Structure 1
């Protein structure tokens, strides 16, 4: 019988490869166990709450009417959004009477140099003991400029889209125009609204007087202005 040849032992390189494979396997098993326990993917699956939409507000454009007054009813207010009012909040004041309302014609200056255009406004005061309502819309406003007995300009001659605006005037309250009118120092007439060659008012210190009317109540005095 022939003698068996001795069994060869693996080389150190083989031992190192086997240890490396075993270590990788242990790490993979440990990672799998951690994933099953921790389940980190659950946090990513939680839906974020939808952001709450914000409401946009708008502020309504004011009408060029006297400031500091209250509209008695929503239907009487100028076009545009306005706050809703309940029946209890709606004022029940009566219309103003002429004897209680003082209307004043106002100019921004008393003297105007050449090229300066007068700015015209209205001021009114409720001298009565109670609140009252008055239409102060452009449909109820009239500005008249005269030189002696000669009417030079009326705001109603070429007025476009007049509107109503009924407001509540508190007792003792004084209000003024929010936006003045501009007189271009020419003579107005219904038939010359589109005419660029209208007669220019003489200057050189000529005197003109502004009278106003609002809500059917006329100013008791006129406002004088000198044009140069």
Structure 2
């Protein structure tokens, strides 16, 4: 046709540049979509935070509660079984057992009733503790306040039980290593009075006789009793 300017064909180089630009645009779009879906920055944030990313393991317990009466301080401040490993906390280099440790067998655990002195003057209150040794393989044991008891007898007369006036008992399962010995981090004090359920707030409870009278302490933890009572004298 006359009067019409023929369309000029682009060189092959122009078409190649266009294809490259189009390909780069597709790659950029695909990268943005991948970033929005995978969100790799969330993993980096988890690594830098203090919160654990998954289930935690076990760690050495610095303090486990001991039985207390309403008139005594808070359990977290008074005493514990130390040196054991609490289930459900961070891994500890000192712990050789894994999370598959079985419950402790009574015949492989030795429990000892411990007094801070063998004789007490009239102005001294006996301080009681528990010491236990695992003579078997790594195992778990409930050493919470629900599983602990201290009992004082004189002859056939039971004078005091820690469970009579125990407040807010709780469970605490710990991991005890093979050959490990753990004991109370702080003792439990006896006020030298007779205990009984219903007399916990009674300020006139009978006082245990002194003058060299003999008493015996027995303990139990995790359903395992002390092998023999420990004797002490009151003056």
Partner in structure 2 of residue 170 of structure 1: 177
Alpha-carbon displacement from aligned partner over 1:106-153 (angstroms, at most 9, x marks no partner): 00000001110000000000001x100000111100000000010000
Partner in structure 2 of residue 122 of structure 1: 130
Partner in structure 1 of residue 234 of structure 2: 227
Task: State the shift of 1:73 in Å.
Answer: 2.2
1:105 to 110, 113, 116: 113
> 2:87 aligned with 1:72, yes or no?
yes
Larger Rg: 1
Q: Distance in 2 between matches of 1:161 and 1:196?
A: 21
Partner in structure 2 of residue 206 of structure 1: 213
Query: Contact 2:62–2:83 (CA<8 Å) still a contact in 1?
Result: no
The runs of at least 4 consecutive aligned structure 1 residues that moved more than 4 Å come to none
Q: Distance in 1 between matches of 2:164 and 2:150?
A: 10
2:190 to 183, 192, 212: 183
Q: Distance in 1 between matches of 2:168 and 2:118?
A: 30
In angstroms, what is the RMSD of aligned CA positions?
A: 2.1
Query: Contact 2:146–2:170 (CA<8 Å) still a contact in 1?
Result: yes
Task: State the shift of 1:154 in Å.
Answer: 0.1
> 2:106 aligned with 1:91, yes or no?
no
> 2:139 aligned with 1:132, yes or no?
yes
Q: Distance in 2 between matches of 1:72 and 1:188?
A: 34
Q: 2:174 is paired with a residue of what secondary structure?
A: strand
